[in-house]
Structure 1
Amino acid sequence: MNKKILSARAAVRRTWQRPWARRLSVWAAVVTVSLTGVVVGTMLFAQSEIAVGPFRADMSISPSVEGGTEVQIPPLGSLHLDSHDGPIHLKVDLGSLDQERTEALIDDPTAISAAGQSAVDDVTKGVLQLGLRALGAAIVCALILSALIFRNIRRVAASGVLALVVTGGGLGLAAGTIRPDSISEPRYEGLLVNAPAVVGDARRIADNYGRYADQLQQLVSNVSRIYTTVSTLPVFEPAGNTTRLLHVSDLHLNPTSWGVIRTVVKQWDIDAVVDTGDIVDWGSNAETSYVSDIGQLGVPYVYVRGNHDSLAIQAAVARQKNAIVLDDTTVTINGLTLAGIGDPEFTPDKSEDPPPDNADELVSSPLLTSGERLATTIRGGKTKVDVALVHDPAMAPPLSGVVPLVLAGHTHKREVSVLAAPSPAPSSSVAPPSAPAPSPSAGVTEPPQKTRMLVQGSTGGAGLRGLEKEEPTPLMMSVLYFDETQTLKAYDDIQLGGTGEQNVTMQRNLVGKDEPEPTTDPSAISGVTPETRPNGSLPPGR
């Protein structure tokens, strides 16, 4: 045994004594030292300070796999932009406020707009300076480190060249993949009450998301107004003709949900709250007191029944002074018309039945029947319906082409999709061969409108079920922005850490960007899979 070990050691020793092995080890060491120098130089010296509006902004670059930009706005929070791909991450810290510039903004309100107009040039100049500084720091650190280790001019030069290639390539990749319009869809992290003030008016952003300069100017103006107001933090005033709905769903008796909803209603200046069902767990009379908080919100509360909600719960909601229960009915708020229908199945016991054996049972399910009933009501109404409300996404297919937007819940998972276009009705008669051919314009109809479906996560963090997993289910809700033509322009997805957690994130989304593909299989809508409720809907345990 000892002879075999000694023989193996001797073989390894002979291999490393060969010229090519020695050269390989030397070049591996050169690469390692050079990359170490790049990382150290970038982390320690790739920093610069620029003036952006009233701020002394500290900018820095660090190695990263995903890239992107982070804008720190202490103490309000931070904005995260998907501005470019890796391997470089840009961080901008607006923590330093220039006293003279701030006083000038307070004395002259027009100075805020002027500061915003110069923000693009300031940031562009600062990023270029930072890139050159990062390149120089990486090369110098790599040269110094290799000189200390190798003491060989060729290896030192090779380290410097490698640092130049790596750093320059990283900067080139970031510049080549830059996405200027990412500033229109920021992800906010920080205090919930500050989110609308920092991010700004979604209506204006949605209308102009392709104009990078305008958005950067608006961002600087928003933050400038916050810092220059002495008494309270201002909320950015929206356009007067913007209607804002707060979409909640699946509260499941979570008492903390009402406090969050009240905060969002106040800070976002919400016009109405829309609840797509499952407000309680069992539908019992003892749970009716939970809905009493609806009356404290101060705005209309539009509700459709979920599969966990009984008729007694629906009646308790209807008794609230500001509540509007939709059950195959419509309502108009600020010119925006909503129609809704309750879930036809009451399944609070969480029992699971096997899925239907054939497609006929799925097609004839009470869920689709209810969806068809609502679609018939909408078609027969005199007022154009802008938003349809259902609880289960499996109710949505009949509404395709009937309304531009469907809101749903039930799955405890946030999803956005475009419903498959409805199939054209078959012709009831066939023209005889001798009949004249119709003219090209005869019988021409406009294509059906595209129907987008937004499925909300659980605003109650799935209730007690949200604590069954290792990580609690987060609380989710969305703010929807409609313009004067009742068209959805943008929506903010708000997510709070589950019970016992404090983190808050908000993602702005612009309608029309990265449009999802239409869903062609009704059984695939929002995860309607073989694990189903009776007659083909999702399991009632949700």
Structure 2
Amino acid sequence: MDGQENEQQDSQGGQPSEPGRTRRVPLRRRAPDGRPARWRALRAVGMTLAVLAVTLAGVLIGTLAGGRVSTDIGPFQANLSLAPALHGGTTIDVPPLGALLLDSHDGPTQLTVQFGALDQGRTEALLHDPASLSRASQTAVDDVRAGVLQLGVRTIAATVLVTLVLALLVFRDTRRAAWAGVLALVIAAGSLGTAAATLRPQAIEEPRYEGLLVNAPALVGDARRIANDYTRYAEQLQRIVGNVSQLYTTVSALPVFEPEPGTTRVLHISDMHLNPAAWQVIRTVVEQFGIDVVVDTGDITDWGSEPEANYVASIGLLQKPYVFIRGNHDSGSTAAAVAQQRNAIVLDNTTTTVAGLTIAGIGDPRFTPDKSTSPAGSGLTQETADQLIDVGDQLAATARTSPRPVDLALVHDPASAGPLAGVTPLVLAGHTHNREVHRLPQEPDQSPTLLMVQGSTGGAGLRGLEGEQPTPLSMTVLYFDEEKLLQAYDDITVGGTGQAQVNLERHIVEDPKAGEPAPVTPTPTR
């Protein structure tokens, strides 16, 4: 009895129970399945998080897989696509010129509009009936609106379907799959609804440019004339389609040249003079034209100073072999900084073989960063002229003793090119900031040699602003066949600072061994 009383006292906080009454000891609440309620709550939270994770994965996969449509915008076959993003916006991609980036809306969705191929029938109509261009651009707004609406519906359907399938595979439970599908519908519709609710038509006033369009903002016209209402926005969209249509129809008139599968593409640049805009243009051309080798004939800097060496760091971003010779504005430290780039090759009376091409090159014998450029051979003292001819003689001797025939030679000043006549079929130069192409004088028994002088890829830097018109940015794409003979070349010119015109001129070399280009067909675009 004493033991029982003690137990009763212990169970009731030390107070003995009354005689004749049964003590009721409280039990822990348990779930119907026998597990504690706390465990069930934790399990419910975990399942909710699992459903949310599966839903987000389904929305992501569904958007990437199904968030794309093809539609006609004016004469173009355009591809519209949606992708998840931290910040909303629109990218209008115009290959090979680059892209326009618009801060058009908020929300976690990024819209990309990529202009693709032209419809053959409509293109012919544009070529033969200029009025049809105006009619095609008038429908652009309705085309874009219909395409975006179709894209939104398709994206929502794809995200819900993918989420349902994924949830069924993971949970094997129709109720949880249904919850995941409803949640996916809410997320997808909410994201697109946020984009629609926060649409900023005036964003087309302040586009950002990538690629060649960095120097061609006139593609969208004068932003000062754009009002903030949707009607004016529509007019600007029509202007974009009209201008890009003119670009494509003009390019279609180029002389026919279809590079063979074994073609080697070389990009010739020169005289960048520290212009940072040049790198973006170069990167775009390298990507869009499938460049194999970049050749730089000097004056990458302006003064050859130590701080300017940081400018050459962009060479590594090209991820293509970069063959360089020093110009008269480049110091020894400049050449050393270029040589430190992992993809760069600096030639100084040496040869190299890249992408099957054997290239010989030599740096300019002068270091005169305070001198302006001048036409080849003009304004030179006899001593300087002798120096330039001497480096040409040195490079010619190196080319003659090369184990492999030299396909092209590099000099900075075209005044050094004379001794290379008959030694190599092609010589590339720069220095004068004026593009020229002509054959070098040669002896009757010598093979022909073509000299190609490049303009300034950097628009002559600050010097390019000294005249009445800014110096344009110039570069050339060279096409070599499997025998490493020049077949054709495209001269690309981008308007200088404050200008917007982009020109592409194609030249076809009818007889590569003769080195004479076919008549030039200029193709102004904007």
**TM-score, with structure 1 as normaliser:** 0.49
Q: CA deviation at 1:58?
A: 4.6
Task: State the alpha-carbon separation in 2 of the partners of residues 58 and 355 from structure 1.
Answer: 50
Contact kept? 2:270, 2:298, Cα under 8 Å:
yes
Deviations 1:404-462 (A, max 9, x none): 00000000000001000048xxxxxxxxxxxxxxxxxxxxxxx2110000000000000
Which of 438, 458, 464 is 2:462 aligned to? 464
Which amino acid is the alignment partner of residue 465 of structure 2? L
C-alpha spacing 1:357/1:338, structure 2 compared with 1 (3 Å): closer
Task: State the alpha-carbon separation in 1 of the partners of residues 361 and 412 from structure 2.
Answer: 9
Unpaired runs of 5+ residues, structure 1, are: 1-50, 62-69, 75-91, 100-188, 208-237, 424-446, 519-542
1:79-478 alignment, distance < 5 Å: 205-206=256-257, 238-350=259-371, 355=379, 361=383, 365-422=386-443, 447-478=445-476
Task: State the alpha-carbon separation in 2 of the partners of residues 191 and 298 from structure 1.
Answer: 29
Deviations 1:336-386 (A, max 9, x none): 11110000111112279995676xx576x1111000000001101110000
Task: State the alpha-carbon separation in 1 of the partners of residues 315 and 301 from structure 2.
Answer: 13
Task: State the alpha-carbon separation in 1 of the partners of residues 323 and 244 from structure 2.
Answer: 27
Task: State the alpha-carbon separation in 1 of the partners of residues 321 and 384 from structure 2.
Answer: 35
Larger Rg: 2
C-alpha spacing 1:190/1:489, structure 2 compared with 1 (3 Å): farther
Which of 482, 507, 512 is 2:480 aligned to? 482
Contact kept? 1:407, 1:455, Cα under 8 Å:
yes
C-alpha spacing 1:346/1:195, structure 2 compared with 1 (3 Å): farther
Deviations 1:41-62 (A, max 9, x none): xxxxxxxxxx96465605668x
Q: CA deviation at 1:191?
A: 6.6
Task: State the alpha-carbon separation in 2 of the partners of residues 277 and 288 from structure 1.
Answer: 14
C-alpha spacing 1:191/1:322, structure 2 compared with 1 (3 Å): farther
Task: State the alpha-carbon separation in 2 of the partners of residues 197 and 271 from structure 1.
Answer: 26
C-alpha spacing 1:284/1:397, structure 2 compared with 1 (3 Å): same
Deviations 1:141-192 (A, max 9, x none): xxxxxxxxxxxxxxxxxxxxxxxxxxxxxxxxxxxxxxxxxxxxxxxx9779
1:57 paired with 2:125, answer yes
Contact kept? 2:373, 2:431, Cα under 8 Å:
no
C-alpha spacing 1:421/1:72, structure 2 compared with 1 (3 Å): farther
Alignment partner of 2:315: what SS?
helix
Contact kept? 1:56, 1:94, Cα under 8 Å:
no
Which of 492, 495, 498 is 1:494 aligned to? 492
Which amino acid is the alignment partner of residue 448 of structure 1? Q
C-alpha spacing 1:315/1:362, structure 2 compared with 1 (3 Å): closer
Deviations 1:309-359 (A, max 9, x none): 00000000000010010111111122111110000111112279995676x
Task: State the alpha-carbon separation in 2 of the partners of residues 317 and 449 from structure 1.
Answer: 34
Q: CA deviation at 1:511?
A: 1.5
Task: State the alpha-carbon separation in 2 of the partners of residues 190 and 516 from structure 1.
Answer: 36
Contact kept? 1:56, 1:95, Cα under 8 Å:
no
C-alpha spacing 1:517/1:352, structure 2 compared with 1 (3 Å): closer
Contact kept? 1:190, 1:505, Cα under 8 Å:
no
Greater length-normalized contact order (CA 8 Å, ≥ 6 residues apart):
1
Which amino acid is the alignment partner of residue 468 of structure 1? E
C-alpha spacing 1:471/1:379, structure 2 compared with 1 (3 Å): same
Deviations 1:192-237 (A, max 9, x none): 9x879955998xx348xxxxxxxxxxxxxxxxxxxxxxxxxxxxxx
Contact kept? 2:392, 2:417, Cα under 8 Å:
yes
The residue number in structure 2 matching 1:504 is 502
Task: State the alpha-carbon separation in 1 of the partners of residues 131 and 262 from structure 2.
Answer: 30
Task: State the alpha-carbon separation in 1 of the partners of residues 132 and 421 from structure 2.
Answer: 42
Task: State the alpha-carbon separation in 1 of the partners of residues 511 and 139 from structure 2.
Answer: 35
Task: State the alpha-carbon separation in 2 of the partners of residues 492 and 71 from structure 1.
Answer: 30
Which amino acid is the alignment partner of residue 506 of structure 1? L
Q: CA deviation at 1:500?
A: 2.2
Which amino acid is the alignment partner of residue 297 of structure 2? T
Q: CA deviation at 1:470?
A: 2.0
Alignment partner of 1:450: what SS?
coil
Task: State the alpha-carbon separation in 1 of the partners of residues 137 and 350 from structure 2.
Answer: 50
Which amino acid is the alignment partner of residue 464 of structure 1? L
C-alpha spacing 1:317/1:190, structure 2 compared with 1 (3 Å): farther
- Paired residues in the alignment total 294
Task: State the alpha-carbon separation in 1 of the partners of residues 131 and 332 from structure 2.
Answer: 49
C-alpha spacing 1:53/1:352, structure 2 compared with 1 (3 Å): closer
Task: State the alpha-carbon separation in 1 of the partners of residues 415 and 315 from structure 2.
Answer: 27
Alignment partner of 1:477: what SS?
strand
C-alpha spacing 1:59/1:397, structure 2 compared with 1 (3 Å): closer
Deviations 1:483-539 (A, max 9, x none): 001010000000001012222110101114898999xxxxxxxxxxxxxxxxxxxxx
Unpaired runs of 5+ residues, structure 2, are: 1-118, 144-241, 518-526
Which amino acid is the alignment partner of residue 452 of structure 2? L
Q: CA deviation at 1:262?
A: 0.2
Task: State the alpha-carbon separation in 2 of the partners of residues 206 and 380 from structure 1.
Answer: 35
Which amino acid is the alignment partner of residue 327 of structure 1? D
Task: State the alpha-carbon separation in 1 of the partners of residues 486 and 333 from structure 2.
Answer: 33
C-alpha spacing 1:191/1:346, structure 2 compared with 1 (3 Å): farther
C-alpha spacing 1:288/1:513, structure 2 compared with 1 (3 Å): same
C-alpha spacing 1:339/1:201, structure 2 compared with 1 (3 Å): farther
C-alpha spacing 1:516/1:73, structure 2 compared with 1 (3 Å): farther
Contact kept? 2:296, 2:324, Cα under 8 Å:
yes
Alignment partner of 1:294: what SS?
helix
**TM-score, with structure 2 as normaliser:** 0.50
C-alpha spacing 1:331/1:291, structure 2 compared with 1 (3 Å): same
Which amino acid is the alignment partner of residue 409 of structure 1? G
